[in-house]
Structure 1
């Protein structure tokens, strides 16, 4: 198994961005799977996905997004201006490099949570380059978004974009835990397996968010859920999966709403799987083996259609 690591300058000039690629050199390559991690996470959390998909014949790659993991140039901060857009450019530049190394392979984009918002935003601009999207723990529009966005904007103006948003993160975690009886930690909403939630809390590569990052994230979340943006995904095959007890997706409503809109728009290949009672990181729940098989089947069916 080849494991390739490299860093390149961030598109906004704020330090370097860590990239990683895995491939099983002995296997004929079926496609490229690019992985986008969630907020305050990092690509190392997906080692199991890299290993599994590489053994299925995929070139599996990804990066620590700006402000995260080994790309935490300013921890929890995307950039002074257009930070979110800069991350989209970082993704595009990395994919262009990987496609030079492995030409003529279909490209699939996997994103979890914040990564799913990045994937949707990227696909809205570069969808012609993608064979399919796999979206984990994504979210739809919500009435609470605009008030929260307004609050963050005020705090950002008062305290500065680089100010630590620890207080806001604690409030968010408590809100996400609100339907869990006696949650054992602020991370309980992440997974029904306590060891997963605890590992997230102890992860040395996890970062806290700044007010600037929250502002960028919320603006992107509002935008990707606008009808005009969703319409740009109408020709891109999508597999959406989520936990039925995931507060980010409003307990299944968000992914189901996106699925319904894409179906109405005539999307040619859609799949939705909501796992009852499971939480945000559904790939870290007991259903991981089932989901990995479903992801593989979704991609391989599209590859067969291509051939």
Structure 2
């Protein structure tokens, strides 16, 4: 796999996995509390496929500036992802642009697709936080947000994934913050009210044992977001991070097969 390099845009760190002659550009939008560097294996699959891959660290995440995991407005994060897209398009003008969003990144990617649909050739959502997600409401009802970090075992059936996550100094292991939870609620509503993405091809990937972002709630949002060109792939027994699951070879094949069917030759 080609090595990665970093760019800094307005205090946001963007990781790039370059390709010398790409056929498309893929933006990877990471989830809550983590960072783009955790997607190196996916990026390797995509660069082998022929993509130039870019992944921004969101505000307050990874190597980017800002108070840890504090997101006051996801519309600002969408704008940050758009700046990453502009960086990628400047380097690779005229190539198809694909957005891949995982978990919270799926929420950001869905909102991006609503706002910038005409700039995209395809959308991939992995365990996306859209539709009905009850966690923010439950936590906001409490006087104090409990310090209950994400359980590494909820990510994957592969124990090495959880161990690496727990040991990663760029991952946030503390409590969620009230302004971020409030922003989740507002943006879930905004995506629900923002309409579908028309004829944009959408690939939805989800584990049927995802306890962090339960599948039934996401289904409501995905079906509302899709304009009709939806490919659904549910993986039996898989947990939240399908790109890091024991069936990841199958997941990667679904992504590259979807791109083959979707992107121009």
- CA gap 1:281/1:145 in 2 versus in 1, 3 angstroms: closer
Partner of 1:103: 93
Once the two structures are TM-superposed, the CA of residue 18 in structure 1 deviates from its matched residue by 0.2
Q: CA RMSD in A?
A: 2.2
Superposed structure 1 runs of 4+ greater than 4 Å apart: none
Which protein shows a greater Rg? Answer: 1
TM-score (structure 1 length as normaliser): 0.78
Partner of 1:299: 259
Q: Is the 8 A contact 1:190 1:280 kept in 2?
A: yes
Q: Is the 8 A contact 1:36 1:43 kept in 2?
A: yes
1:112-123 pair list within 5 angstroms: 112-123=102-113
Q: Distance in 2 between matches of 1:190 and 1:117?
A: 18
Q: More helix per residue: 1 or 2? A: 1
TM-score (structure 2 length as normaliser): 0.90
Partner of 2:31: 38
- The total of aligned residue pairs comes to 262
Q: Is the 8 A contact 2:140 2:178 kept in 1?
A: no
1:1-307 pair list within 5 angstroms: 1=2, 3-9=4-10, 16-25=11-20, 28-79=21-72, 83-142=73-132, 144=134, 147-148=137-138, 150-151=140-141, 165=145, 167-170=146-149, 173=150, 186-207=151-172, 208=174, 209-224=176-191, 226=192, 228-229=193-194, 231-250=195-214, 252-261=215-224, 266-267=227-228, 269-304=229-264
- CA gap 1:67/1:97 in 2 versus in 1, 3 angstroms: same
- Which stretch of the first structure deviates more once superposed, 198-207 or 38-47? 198-207
Once the two structures are TM-superposed, the CA of residue 261 in structure 1 deviates from its matched residue by 3.6
Q: Is the 8 A contact 1:140 1:249 kept in 2?
A: no
Q: Is the 8 A contact 1:23 1:57 kept in 2?
A: no
- CA gap 1:299/1:218 in 2 versus in 1, 3 angstroms: same
Q: Distance in 2 between matches of 1:74 and 1:245?
A: 32
Once the two structures are TM-superposed, the CA of residue 255 in structure 1 deviates from its matched residue by 3.8
Once the two structures are TM-superposed, the CA of residue 259 in structure 1 deviates from its matched residue by 4.4
Consecutive unaligned residues of structure 2, counting only runs of 5 or more, are none
